[in-house]
């Protein structure tokens, strides 16, 4: 919690604010240009998005839709 936000810890962003349509246990690394690595332990799933948004703000709608579809396709481990 270097910046006092409860969704940051140990150099990773944690999904406590439901930023992604993933379980709250999910955590991610976010880089420049909209790059992201999202780790979802309960599904044994890692989602990586590479990209560059030159001068634009990345839209979360497409990424969130892709994550939701992946979670449907890859069920949680039992």
Q: Which residues contact 20 (CB under 8 A, 6 or more apart)?
A: 26, 28, 38, 63, 64, 67
Contact 16, 7 (CB under 8 A): yes
Residue 70: band (very low, low, confident or very high) from pLDDT cuts 50, 70, 90: very high
- Residues 43 and 25: their CA atoms lie apart, in Å, by 11
**Would you say residue 46 has pLDDT above 90?**
yes
List, for residues 47-61, the tens digit of each pLDDT value: 998 876 665 555 566
Share of the chain above pLDDT 70, in %: 76
């Amino acid at each position: 919690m270097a910046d006092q936000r409860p969704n940051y810890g140990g150099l990773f962003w944690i999904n406590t604010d439901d930023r992604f349509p993933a379980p709250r246990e999910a955590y991610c690394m976010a880089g420049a240009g909209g790059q992201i690595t999202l780790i979802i332990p309960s599904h044994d799933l890692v989602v990586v998005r590479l990209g560059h948004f030159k001068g634009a703000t990345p839209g979360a709608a497409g990424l969130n839709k892709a994550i939701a579809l992946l979670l449907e396709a890859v069920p949680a481990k039992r």
